[in-house]
Structure 1
Amino acid sequence: MSRHSIRLSDALHEYVVSHGTPPDAVLTELVDETYAALPQQAGMQIGPDQAAFTTLLVKLIGARSAVEVGTFTGMSSLAIARGLPADGKLICLDVSDEYTSIARRFWERDGQSDKIELRLGPALESLRAFPTEPHLDFAFIDADKPSYSVYWEELVPRMVPGGLIAVDNVLWGGRVVDPSESGGNVDAVRAFNDLAAADDRMEVVMLPVGDGLTLARKL
């Protein structure tokens, strides 16, 4: 057995995706529309394999109350909402009406709109307006990298025991281990990764899923 996760070629990635629950028409069309409407930004969207993984995670922990920091065109929010029960609640935080206008149409099409509340504006202000007591079962962070650490500090006290935080892009294209890379997002991601790993309130694992995914369970 290998001590390391296997490296995925394009062919092997396609094999992995094809041997899980396939993305349905809604998710496929969301990917297509995102690339058509926002070709320069479309890489911010999580992949269908990560979406399926997210839905499964939300179901496994029995989440009822969730928050997403960074919604873009709605792939991750659809994944979360699909994992919630009919009376579950997802609050989505984003600053872009343009990007989330696509998300809102797909939420409606998928029958998830009743579960989702979109709050437009700076995410940190929105998080600080949340009740301070533990009440969140699941949180997903996928927004501006320099703010990852402050989002984390706002979310951790608000997670219930056993609650799960998922954080995207924690490998930043592999540049987190490249000593020639410094400044901007790469330093912000490194600082966040160090913060999360040292947080004794959480049980943390970093997975080579997508661009790197940290999962942290509240103790």
Structure 2
Amino acid sequence: MGTAPDAGQLMAILLKLLNAKKTIEVGVFTGYSLLLTALTIPHDGKIIAMDPDRKAYEVGLPSIKKAGVEHKIDYIESQALPVLDKLLENPSNDGNFDFAYVDADKGNYWNYHERLIKLIKIGGLIIYDNTLWGGTVALPEELVPGPKRKIRQEALAFNKAISSDSRVEISLVSIGDGFTICRRTH
């Protein structure tokens, strides 16, 4: 589990094109995408990273330390929604982030989106991972293995909602497990 290398390369290029300095990561797991972001943003850049599983984060922490980028990361051991809500309590955070990456519980993607769209600046990006869910979003329900059906339904609902959100331009990229790139337009 983790961000696919080809998806990570695309994310790094996008971060560079944005000249991203302030980012948010929802769902860290062992920190591959977090490390990639930290290596890509400038020395004084910052990442607010949230995940309830500190043990998984600590698996990748030695690599983050070895790379010399730990100072860029504000890791918060928590579910994401309370952290995002806390950020939104401070009006100076509105539109103050360049980039967000979401690879967390798929059932909350729309809840994350509603918060992130307020935190990301106009012209900034939000990327959602796993929006193809192993290709199951293109299959008839009866062909989807039982264990994948619940998250498939969540991915379908999110994909439908995001495709009609007038606040973003989107591109669904079929690398990794599906990367939905959203550019905030207003």
User: TM-score, normalised to structure 2's length?
Assistant: 0.91
- Which secondary structure state, in structure 1, belongs to the residue aligned with residue 83 of structure 2? helix
Amino acid at match of 1:98: K
Query: Partners in 2 of 1:78 and 1:190 — Cα distance?
Result: 29
Kept after mapping to 1: 8 A contact 2:7/2:179: no
- Look up the match of 2:164: 198
- Which secondary structure state, in structure 1, belongs to the residue aligned with residue 49 of structure 2? strand
Amino acid at match of 1:93: M
Query: Partners in 2 of 1:56 and 1:111 — Cα distance?
Result: 20
- Decide which structure has the larger Cα Rg and report it: 1
- Look up the match of 1:150: 111
Identify the match of residue 106 of structure 1 among 58, 63, 66. Answer: 63
- Look up the match of 2:180: 214
- Look up the match of 1:68: 25
Aligned length: 176
Query: Partners in 2 of 1:45 and 1:183 — Cα distance?
Result: 20
**Percent identity between the aligned chains?**
35
- Look up the match of 2:73: 116
| CA RMSD after TM alignment | 1.2
Matches within 5 A, 1:74-113: 74-113=31-70
The structural deviation recorded for 1:48 is: 2.1
Which 4+ residue blocks in structure 1 deviate beyond 6 angstroms?
none
Query: Partners in 2 of 1:194 and 1:156 — Cα distance?
Result: 17
Query: Partners in 1 of 2:11 and 2:131 — Cα distance?
Result: 16
- Look up the match of 2:10: 53
Structure 2: which 5+ runs fail to align? none
User: TM-score, normalised to structure 1's length?
Assistant: 0.77
